Chain A
Amino acid sequence: MELVVLLILIFPLTGFLINGIFGRWTKPLAGVVASAAIVSSFIMALAVASGYNSLPFDHIYYSWISSAGFSVPFGLRIDSLSLTMLLVVTGVSSLVHIYSIGYMHNDEGYSRYFAFLNLFVLSMIILILADNYLLMFVGWEGVGFCSYILIGHWYKNPAPPKAGIKAFVVNRIGDAGFIIGLLFIFTHFGSLNYTAIFNNTSTLSVSLATVITLFLFVGAVGKSAQFPLYVWLPDAMEGPTPVSALIHAATMVTAGVYMVARSHILYSMSPISSEVVASIGALTAFFAATMALTHTDLKRVLAYSTVSQLGYMFIGVGVGAYWAGIFHLMTHAFFKGLLFLAAGSVMHAMDGLLDMRKMGGLIKKMPHTAVVFIIGALAISGIPPLSGFFSKDTILAEALKLNHPIIWFVGVVTAFMTAFYMFRLIFLTFFGKSRVPDEYHPHESPAVMVTPMWILAALSIAGGLVGLETAHGIPMKNFLSSTLGFPPAAVVETNDNLLMIISVLMGIGGIFLAWLMYIAKPSLPAKLANSVKVLYSGCKNLWWVDQIYNFLFVKPLWWVSHNFLWKVVDVKLIDASVDDVGFLSAFTGKTFRLLQNGFINSYVTWASLGVVVMLGWVIYSGGIR
């Protein structure tokens, strides 16, 4: 077992090293090598899953850091939570790798792309399987680093490297919070190991638990792109689309949700933190959905949609239904991964064009892509029996049952908006009259891209069934509860059938409205935009958040650093006063002479002078006699 688990890490590492070091020579095979590595990892993960009766698995491979009680081993842990994550990550990664072989062919940085895609998977696996917080942080920063590299993959253009920096730096803001949380944990428990922490929570006061969980959550807000640190994710769309599918939708951005679920024992100790998590989740879900409503960039609509869906997951883990959050994480990985891959297929057909205003009627040119896109959109809109319906409905129902009516309401409204913007996208892209400029010749993508999309489409359809009530309860819930525990009993009596009907109606209503506005009466959107101008321009301009951040933080810091700290404090105050200190200014004029001959003399003179002064003072002050 130890070896099998280690192999899950070794395959992607090997793939990274091969393509990273010998990329120049392996280039034609880079995609195959990388995909083989990840598929092998997936097979190993399946092997682990087949023996899941022996879980939890926990093994220390070697002692990584050890200093005066601060000892952090390289230890891996597999339980039902990390196994779920592991299967999702390696499974979706395999599909995205294979898809990339088609999508990235002829790319200049072909082997570099696959090298870092492998390294990303390795980091993500470390993040998931770590048995302590510091090793989790290694994966946490590692995925951020790979994200930085892959966002900036097309580094010859100006925008991608900038977007990469933005992603890395904004993530670091969150990471500072994460590290502080980790420091609090270590000072209290004397360990960062999950088991050691969670078995000793009896010594933890509620207030300290609140402090710890809030700081950890700052990290989650950064990594999982929640308000107010979500700004990097839309810009991250500068990267290749399969990267958006894998990193910025299916896996990396869900790390924050995983971390909160992993720390559920701490979060459930603190009602305040849980409330904060759920509220930020609800706020983000709603806020991001408003920004998706009016966008015309295909990928950015999906990006805001991802931010919004991550908000749902945080509602789940915030209200205490940890398994529901992870359940939605899984289904979201399927359908959002699918949506991005399908969007990539559209881009592939349209030579990188992303403006939906220049699309339309594509269903005739690329039927496979259109159909899987619709499947993904139905899933995210919560239409039964697709997977998104089960997971989203579970989260909302739990929120209401555990007495969060406002959050439930926000979630339901957001569900309506979600269905609307997704089908607005579908209708604009695939239906209606073609607005494609003549120089473009859209065509269906090759099988190497279409097949992974169909697999994900199948999962998007059927993936929710593990959340279906059976005679023995809900399988997904039972499986995860061995790690996450069962959610608390319902506080509020609810009519489950009624709730279900409400969510379904929201989805259908949203789809209907989109149909009305973009197919039946295409003149409607402009009229509507005019009648609610302020709201419309708010949505359209993304509520000016980037501009506000620039004005409040970025610009002032740069200005103060340049014009005050450097030019005034450093040059004028400190350095000039040093130059003015007698001896230096006296000598600067005569430096040359000094260089030639005055050197030894002055040296000795100063040295002896110093000694005399010091000794004089010592004797004068009477300390020695």
Chain B
Amino acid sequence: MSISNFPYLSLLLFFPLIGAILLAFIPKKDTLIIKLFTLVWIVIEFLISIPLYFYFNSGTYNMQFVENYSWIKSLNIHFFLGIDGISLFLVLLTTFLMIPAQWSTWEAIDKKVKEFNIALLLLETGMLGVFLALDGFLFYVFWEFELIPMYLLIGIWGGKFRVYATMKFFLYTFAGSVLMLAALMALYFIHGHFTGIYTFNLVELAKTPLPFKWQFWLFLAFFLAFAIKVPIWPFHTWLPWAHVEAPTAGSVLLAGVLLKMGTYGFLRFNLPMFPDMSRLFVPVIVIVGLIGVYYGAWVAMVQPDMKKLVAYSSVSHLGYSMLGMFALNRIGMEGSILQMINHGISTGALFLIVGVIYERMHTRLIGRYSGLAAIMPAYAVMAGIFVFSSIGLPGMNGFIGEILILVGVFKKNIWYGMLLAPAAIFSATYMLVMFRRVFFHKPKPELVELSKQGKLKDLSLREFSYFIPLVLLVFWIGLYPNAFLSKMHTSVNHLISQVHREAPAENISMLTGGKR
């Protein structure tokens, strides 16, 4: 395969960065060229990422498309990239979601257009880096790097309380990453001590589980870092703020991709590296996960602001993902990964939906709307599709993830499964009540007035066209999920076998030997 000799992932990773640099040379006032250039650039980036799916060998759990160069010799830090069946779809999700995210900003962003698009491209490199990096240090670098453009997106192009929201977002997630860096360092030294190999190589680190005592502390540190990012209840309160204040593109990428870094972190660090602790920790995750699922749904139910509603629904949906993951079996794990993708698609699309109406009316308060279905029928249909995709209607993507998670969790423990199953009642409630209040009944007089003046138009061709690919994905995953699941099987299998390892005996003797 010729693709393996070519530094394909580096190309994928740095292509947006190159775009950002090129953008710098385009004059500020040529906003149309800037927007068009960026769009074309990220479409090309998406096209570059597609062969990954076709050339991906689903028969092995080994990392593929690997590139490994020594970077900082003294600390054995490498520039090490690669993907497996777990990161493959997160990479594709990222390159895919960039397109509607950028396309949605063509009219919404009118100040500092150039800087905005540069930030978007930098963000793409940052996000891809997190999913591609296989060296812990490199992972950390991208983890932090991605924060900066997102911080700018909210802080400069955000809403009224953007400063407060930005600080909250930044410091909250930053507190997590500090902890992660510390844990990473500790992992480096402890692992080196026990095995004699001082390395940040994530594959290597996962090979030998540490003695339980070290698993315990390191697991907790990584747990906190990732829990904030996901976010797992009760670390979620930064999320509604960040979403409400972020511009639409920011919300789409925040919900669609950034939150997945948290769940991805669990898959890359906690589960394979600290298997004993992972198994021990299951009840804790189940409790906070179940609380998150119900709490998110109930609080979403009473939100007056559409974006906050969708933000709380994320807490609920990602609670599912965590539960499926910590069922520690293949079905639950595959459901969990699929749920990440689904959440990226559905929730990303819902933020785009909110963005459409916000651009026209500059309010997201549900109470300000009614009867939009009569004024904007195409928009109502689009919103309906994503509302039901989020509810998990069979035939659409959400259902597949949820049912796999339910089966996995039920297999783990009947009671966990029985507690989780009724949650679907409430996801239907909050979404449908919002949908009814915004789209049904008679339109408010002022909305009718605006519509007559031509200020409240139905979806434009541009808006329509960025929804279409999302709709296709919703049904593709819903009707033929095997196209996605089949690529995951081997990697998930391997991860599950790693989680079910016992700490080896030598390690325990090493522990006693290590002590004076």
Contacts and interface: CB of A to CB of B under 8 A. Distances in A.
A545 interface: no
A19 to B, nearest CB: 13
Contacts of A558: 301-302
A563 to B, nearest CB: 9
Nearest to B295: A565
A618 B190 contact: yes
Nearest to B378: A24
Given A67-B489, A588-B164, 9 more contacts: A67-B485, A69-B331, A169-B425, A172-B425, A176-B421, A561-B302, A570-B299, A606-B174, A623-B190
Contacts of B481: 64-65
A566 B331 contact: no
A624 B213 CA distance: 13
Query: Which of B181, B295, B302 has its CB near the most chain A CB atoms (within 10 A)?
Result: B302
A595 interface: yes
Interface stretch (B64-72, B339-347, B406-414): B406-414
Contact of B186 (A62, A165, A603, A615): A615
Interface string B387-409: 01000011100011001101100
Given A172-B425, A594-B167, A155 B172 contact: no
Interface stretch (B251-259, B274-282, B437-445): B437-445
B404 A611 contact: no
B433 A179 contact: no
A14 to B, nearest CB: 16
Contact of B371 (A67, A137, A156, A176): A156
B299 A66 contact: no
A169 B432 contact: yes
Contacts of B421: 176, 179-180, 183
Interface string B317-353: 0000000000001110011000000000000000000
9 contacts: A66-B485, A169-B425, A187-B411, A558-B301, A561-B299, A561-B301, A566-B299, A574-B236, A614-B186
B340 to A, nearest CB: 15
B174 A624 contact: no
Interface in A485-522: none
B332 to A, nearest CB: 9
A187 to B, nearest CB: 6
A65 B428 contact: no
A575 B169 CA distance: 12
B482 A65 contact: yes
B207 interface: no
Contact of B238 (A566, A578, A603): A578
Given A183-B417, A584-B167, A618 B186 contact: yes
Interface in A146-169: 148, 152, 155-158, 161-162, 164-165, 168-169
Contacts of B334: 67-68
Q: Which 8 A-B pairs have the closest CB atoms?
A: A614-B182, A68-B330, A610-B178, A575-B237, A138-B394, A562-B302, A161-B440, A561-B298
B362 interface: no
A619 to B, nearest CB: 9
A67 B428 CA distance: 26
Contacts of A64: 479-482
A68 B424 CA distance: 24
Interface in A62-118: 62-70
Contact of A595 (B163, B388, B404): B163
A398 interface: no
A587 B167 contact: yes
Contacts of B42: none
A624 B515 CA distance: 8
Given A65-B485, A611-B181, A624-B190, A175 B424 contact: yes
Contact of B179 (A158, A569, A575, A610): A610
A551 B328 CA distance: 41
Contacts of A142: 393-395
Interface in B462-516: 479-482, 485-486, 489, 493, 514-516
A444 interface: no
Interface in B165-201: 166-168, 171-172, 174-175, 177-179, 181-183, 185-186, 189-190, 193
Interface of A: 62-70, 134, 137-138, 141-142, 145, 148, 152, 155-158, 161-162, 164-165, 168-169, 172-173, 175-176, 179-180, 183-184, 186-187, 557-558, 560-562, 565-566, 569-570, 574-575, 578-579, 583-584, 587-588, 591-592, 594-595, 603, 606-607, 609-611, 613-615, 618, 622-625
B516 A613 contact: no
Contacts of B406: 179, 183
Interface in B57-107: none
Contacts of B417: 180, 183
B358 interface: no
Given A137-B394, A558-B301, A561-B299, A66 B178 contact: no
B400 to A, nearest CB: 6
Nearest to A592: B163
B441 A156 contact: yes
A595 B301 contact: no
Nearest to A613: B182
Given A134-B403, A570-B299, A607-B178, A67 B410 contact: no
B436 interface: yes
B21 interface: no
B429 A169 contact: yes
Contacts of A623: 190, 193, 213-214, 514
A183 B410 CA distance: 7
B130 to A, nearest CB: 17
A172 to B, nearest CB: 5
Nearest to A581: B175
B40 interface: no
B222 to A, nearest CB: 12
Query: Which of A68, A569, A603, A625 has its CB near the most chain B CB atoms (within 10 A)?
Result: A68
B166 to A, nearest CB: 8
B297 to A, nearest CB: 9
Contacts of A172: 424-425, 428
B182 A65 contact: no
Contacts of A565: 295, 298-299
Contacts of A625: 514, 516
A587 B170 CA distance: 11
B185 A611 contact: yes
B431 to A, nearest CB: 10
Interface string B355-371: 00000000000000001
A454 B89 CA distance: 57
A134 B399 CA distance: 11
A610 B186 CA distance: 11
A595 B298 contact: no
B407 A186 contact: yes
Given A176-B424, A180-B421, A138 B395 contact: yes
Contacts of A63: 482
B422 interface: yes
B155 interface: yes
Contacts of A561: 298-299, 301-302
B128 interface: no
A165 B436 contact: yes
A288 B253 CA distance: 51
A372 B189 CA distance: 87
B7 to A, nearest CB: 30
Contact of A168 (B237, B330, B422, B432): B432
A176 B422 contact: yes
Nearest to B433: A165
A155 B301 contact: no
B424 A622 contact: no
B374 interface: yes
Contacts of B190: 618, 623-624
Contacts of A595: 155, 163, 166
B121 interface: no
Nearest to A160: B440
Contact of B439 (A138, A155, A165, A578): A155
